[in-house]
Chains A and B, each alone.
Chain A
Amino acid sequence: MTRVMPPQIAAARRALLLASVLTVVAFGPNGRIIAADAANSKVPSDAVLAAQADRVATAERISRPTLSIFDSKGQGGGSGVVISADGYAITNFHVTAPCGPAMKCGLSDGRLVDAVLVGLDLGGDVALIKLLGDGTFPTAELGDSDAARAGDWVFVAGNPFLLADDFRPSISYGIISGVHRYQYPSGTLLEYTDCLQTDAAVNPGNSGGPLFNADGQLIGINGRCSFEKRGRVNVGVGYAVSINQIKRFLSQLRSGRLVDHGALGATVSSNADHRVVVDDILEDSDVYRRGLRYGDELVSFANREISTANGLKNVLGTYPEGWRVPITYRRDGKHYEQIVRLAAAHREGELAALMESGPEKPGRDEHHPGRPDDKQPPKEEQAPPDKPESKQHAKKPAELPAEVAKYYEPRTGYANYWFNRYHQERVWNNFLARGDFAHTPWNWTIRAKTDANEDVEIQLAKDQGSIVMPSGKSLAAFSTSLGDSLSPPRSGGLLATLHLWQRLLVVGPRKSGDVYYFGTLPLPGQSEPADCLVGLSGGVETRFYFDPTEGDLVGIEMQATDDQDPCEIYFSDIRPEDGRRLPHHWLVRHGDETFADLKITGFEWHVAANADPADVERN
């Protein structure tokens, strides 16, 4: 074994000599041994120089979208990364929590700009913020975190120990140490599911900052480290929320809401024979209605094979509430495949309460490298080093920087209601641009043919409706409690759903009860996730789906109670009729069944003889 350390001081000279002539052997890629004489090492091979230049260029490129994040007084800090040219950026919830709705972000070109909180994923420790101000911002290219493998080279960018006075991020370089890691939550928050583990240095201040692959694509958000007896510094173990998880939550984060993770409605445990079986299931869950039962073996979830109970937690945690995922289960040797809809992981109001209390203290060995404890506030600041408390989250807009106050609207259950209102209006105006139903009277007659070419006639009035089908005639009264009259039978409430559709078209979302923008959700038959407005009126929850580019209303789901399947209508063949765009093909589904497949042959509307003119006014 080569001993590079001479045992005697007298050898210092010899070591000096040794160093100058030492032949350096290092292993290059593909097992090639690169030998270089130290004296000639000033001239490395072209391949070495090219690789170095490539790495330097990548480091420069990934620096540009990387942010240093401070609270609105310029204190504290973490990191972040810009993902769109109009200034949306991702960071950790535990970075924004002490800042409240306003923060300041330093860019690598030296700019310091105001930013406003947009949306929060408390369970996944992710926050979406928006940089304010003119111009465009450099963006990171989103990669595919599921393609990352242990052993891949990666870059970490950010502001560890708040070193960057000029906001040029520090770059560390390492490898992926593990993929699909599960890290237990603190309470019900900050659970790291299916995360990436890296040995690239992640230190206090790196929180919320980007993890890039060797091509400079964003594959994760660094937010957690294993620390131990060596203190709050890197010990070669950092964890990043995967970008694929964040991509699924992104449109919901843009909604300004406190977004929630999905819940299956069933728990599983690993058997001695390595089978993962259902050990508890809620009878009012979608997965129960789709046929899963106690004792069934769960084979796959979201196309990932499930071999351990933790394996399910790992995948489930990467999906938002409302998402539909394929599952496979086995009973008596037979396979079943189903699409299940994920419920919310938290009860109503629970997330709002948790946001008020701020992120819980992490466990002993797991820490979120958010704010360096040992860093004094910047010298030019006179402020005492007291950290702003998350309680100040609900601080009055008057205390916010003027630029931020324009884009912030507090409301319980939201990170920032301003963005929800913005998207409600965007979706609705996009729809109206294709044809306005205002001043349309309430009395509609719709004629259709079933796929068996049989006649169907639907009558809708303001307070009642009817449908005549080959199977018979059904009536429904539209009271304040729409869930009481779910006719026709086995439709889940088609007439009530059509009433809510008509109501939305005629009076608009503002007059249709409580409405909020959910984000986008994948919808069967749609290539792009659809914009979703959720309406709460008549005692039922209704989801209206809009084509994100065309603006057309492409689907409605009305769910009367949690323990029933919704009535689903999928609209297609949408074309103008009498100056308004109307769907000419309706697929009506309830549970696992198609209730009706209708080709519309005629729309008619007429003012009822005794109609109050005010009824047709849209506000």
Chain B
Amino acid sequence: MWPQMPIPPTWSAIDQGMNHTSSIIRWRVLSWAVVVLLTVAATSRAADNRASLAAVDRQSQVKIVKIYGAGGPRGLEAYQSGFLITSDGYVLTAWSYVLDTDDVAVVLDDGRRFSGKLIGADPLTEVAVLKIDAGADPLPHFDLAQSPEADVGACVLALSNLFSIAAGNEPSSILHGVVSAVAPLEARHGAFSANYRGDVYIVDAVINNPGSAGGALTDQQGRLLGMLGKELRGESTGTWLNYALPVAAFRNAADAMIAGRFAPKELTEAERPDKPLTLGALGIVLVPDVVPRTPPYVDRIVPDSPAAKAGLRPDDLVVTFDTQVVTSCQHVTKLLERYEQDAVIHVAVLRDGSMLEFTLQAAKTAERAKE
């Protein structure tokens, strides 16, 4: 009776907590509904398939910015996207390692380059607000207060500087798609879960590429629907997700940041791993943590430990853990708490002026003596 649709692997990531049979039934039903919706949406979109979206693109591109900041080693692109949300230069973007520097550059669509000042960041939604000082002339911007919500089947556009294709006054890229589902995000970033568990737009186009984070999802009239999120994998399947945070998820936080009264919520204990990873389990001893921002130099490596086997050495300066740039010994310790004990960790260190990368995994059961 219903079309036999396979379970889309990407979508099944948001299928947590359902038993298998029921999820199949549900997926068949939903797939059928989605097929109907997509068919109608696709044909209505095609009602004039020569009507270019060029005007909508231009109207939105002037609000999109290219952001350059920290990064560099493999897998750590030093760029992302953002968009203007006020006429006086507030920019919404994704909270990521790219912003973890005093030198964040924001390039407008017209090619003007400004220094971006971090106004605030919400660790829950991983949204950040930057401020640029572009002078007295009002800037074109999206209005968070006037953003509609989109239903499944809505035709959407994603604007971002993915792969850093554009530079200077070259326009960012525009991709088109359809909202396939509106569903809770159950995803992980590297080894730890994404903090945000609320609804997101799942889109049928690849809208979360390197550099896409912080870009805009709009409807075909150019009205803002959400912010393209960081690259995340579905928790259950490990497949890459194509999603955007709805404006409703970050509107209040962004307003509060602009008003200077934002107080981020602390993460709850429930979101921490049961058995967090420790430096001891990896066999790394950092230099004594004497000042608030002690650089995370390796003091010594425990013989036969995972770190020793991987080739880490004393005097290595730890630069990144997975895709996170680390700034201090404290930062390393805090980051490790987010990983399960047996997580596979990619570490980049600076040794004799070269960036070297290592992959570490602590043994699952072995309880190593605490150093």
Name A's B-contacting residues (CB within 8 A). 1-6, 9, 11-12, 15-16, 18-19, 22, 24-31, 34, 36, 38, 41, 44-45, 47-49, 51-52, 54-55, 149-153, 174-175, 177-178, 180-181, 197, 199, 214-215, 226, 228-230, 234-237, 274, 307-308, 310, 365
B25 in the interface (beta carbon within 8 A): yes
Provide 28 A-B residue pairs closer than 8 Å at the C-beta atoms, listed in order of the A residue. Answer: A1-B248, A2-B149, A4-B30, A5-B14, A5-B182, A9-B19, A9-B22, A19-B33, A26-B37, A26-B40, A26-B45, A29-B45, A29-B47, A48-B43, A51-B48, A150-B54, A150-B61, A151-B56, A152-B53, A152-B54, A175-B176, A178-B174, A181-B166, A197-B165, A214-B50, A226-B209, A307-B168, A308-B167
Given A1-B199, A51-B43, A151-B55, verify A237-B165 contact (CB < 8 Å). yes
B325 to chain A, nearest CB (A): 19
Name the segment of B150-158, B296-304, B359-367 touching the other chain. B150-158
User: A1, A24, A151, A234 — which one has the most chain B CB atoms within 10 A of its CB?
Assistant: A151
The answer to whether A3 and B174 have CB atoms under 8 Å apart is: no
- Which residues of chain B come closer than 8 Å to A181, judged between CB atoms? 165-166, 170
Q: How far is the CA of A308 from the CA of B165 in the complex (A)?
A: 15
The answer to whether B176 and A214 have CB atoms under 8 Å apart is: no
User: B39, B49, B172 — which one has the most chain A CB atoms within 10 A of its CB?
Assistant: B49
- Which residues of chain B come closer than 8 Å to A310, judged between CB atoms? 167
- Which residues of chain B come closer than 8 Å to A235, judged between CB atoms? 206, 209
B41 in the interface (beta carbon within 8 A): yes
B63 to chain A, nearest CB (A): 15
Q: How far is the CA of A226 from the CA of B209 in the complex (A)?
A: 10
B344 to chain A, nearest CB (A): 15
Least CB separation from A58: chain B residue: B49
A28 to chain B, nearest CB (A): 5
The answer to whether B29 and A178 have CB atoms under 8 Å apart is: no
Q: How far is the CA of A11 from the CA of B183 in the complex (A)?
A: 15
5 A-B pairs closest in CB distance: A151-B53, A19-B33, A9-B22, A151-B54, A151-B57
Given A4-B181, A5-B181, A24-B41, verify A236-B25 contact (CB < 8 Å). no
- Which residues of chain A come closer than 8 Å to B206, judged between CB atoms? 230, 234-237
What 12 additional pairs, Cβ within 8 angstroms, besides A41-B39, A151-B54, A237-B162?
A19-B33, A24-B36, A25-B153, A29-B45, A34-B44, A48-B47, A150-B171, A153-B49, A153-B50, A199-B174, A229-B231, A237-B173
B220 in the interface (beta carbon within 8 A): yes
B116 in the interface (beta carbon within 8 A): no
- Which residues of chain A come closer than 8 Å to B155, judged between CB atoms? 26-27
- Which residues of chain A come closer than 8 Å to B171, judged between CB atoms? 150, 178
Question: Out of A1, A11, A25, A51, which one reaches B246, CB within 8 Å?
Answer: A1
Q: How far is the CA of A49 from the CA of B42 in the complex (A)?
A: 11
The answer to whether A47 and B47 have CB atoms under 8 Å apart is: yes
With an 8 Å Cβ cutoff, the count of chain B residues facing the other chain is: 69
Given A151-B57, A175-B176, verify A3-B49 contact (CB < 8 Å). no
B26 in the interface (beta carbon within 8 A): yes
Q: How far is the CA of A580 from the CA of B299 in the complex (A)?
A: 93
Question: Out of A12, A54, A178, which one reaches B25, CB within 8 Å?
Answer: A12
Given A151-B56, A215-B50, A235-B209, verify A48-B44 contact (CB < 8 Å). yes
B211 to chain A, nearest CB (A): 10
Task: Summarize B's interface: helix, strand, loop or mixed.
Answer: mixed
The answer to whether A151 and B52 have CB atoms under 8 Å apart is: yes
- Which residues of chain A come closer than 8 Å to B154, judged between CB atoms? 25-27
The answer to whether A236 and B209 have CB atoms under 8 Å apart is: yes
- Which residues of chain B come closer than 8 Å to A29, judged between CB atoms? 45, 47-48, 51
The answer to whether B219 and A27 have CB atoms under 8 Å apart is: yes
A216 to chain B, nearest CB (A): 10
- Which residues of chain B come closer than 8 Å to A153, judged between CB atoms? 49-50, 52-53
- Chain B, 113-148, contact with A by CB distance < 8 Å: what is the 0/1 string? 000000000000000000000000000000000000
A275 to chain B, nearest CB (A): 13
- Which residues of chain A come closer than 8 Å to B53, judged between CB atoms? 151-153, 175
The answer to whether A199 and B205 have CB atoms under 8 Å apart is: yes
B335 to chain A, nearest CB (A): 21
Q: How far is the CA of A605 from the CA of B207 in the complex (A)?
A: 76
- Which residues of chain A come closer than 8 Å to B174, judged between CB atoms? 150-151, 175, 177-178, 199
- Which residues of chain B come closer than 8 Å to A22, judged between CB atoms? 33, 36-37
CB contact list, B18-35 vs A, under 8 A: 18-19, 22, 25-26, 29-30, 32-33
The answer to whether B183 and A5 have CB atoms under 8 Å apart is: yes
Q: How far is the CA of A422 from the CA of B205 in the complex (A)?
A: 49
B135 to chain A, nearest CB (A): 17
B46 in the interface (beta carbon within 8 A): yes
The answer to whether B175 and A15 have CB atoms under 8 Å apart is: no
The answer to whether A15 and B26 have CB atoms under 8 Å apart is: yes
User: A9, A47, A175, A235 — which one has the most chain B CB atoms within 10 A of its CB?
Assistant: A235
B169 in the interface (beta carbon within 8 A): yes
- Chain B, 1-20, contact with A by CB distance < 8 Å: what is the 0/1 string? 00000000000001000110
B221 in the interface (beta carbon within 8 A): yes
- Which residues of chain B come closer than 8 Å to A44, judged between CB atoms? 40, 43-44
User: A47, A152, A228 — which one has the most chain B CB atoms within 10 A of its CB?
Assistant: A228
Question: Out of B39, B49, B172, B175, which one reaches A51, CB within 8 Å?
Answer: B49
Q: How far is the CA of A2 from the CA of B151 in the complex (A)?
A: 6
- Which residues of chain B come closer than 8 Å to A19, judged between CB atoms? 29-30, 32-33, 36
Q: How far is the CA of A205 from the CA of B342 in the complex (A)?
A: 40
Least CB separation from A233: chain B residue: B206
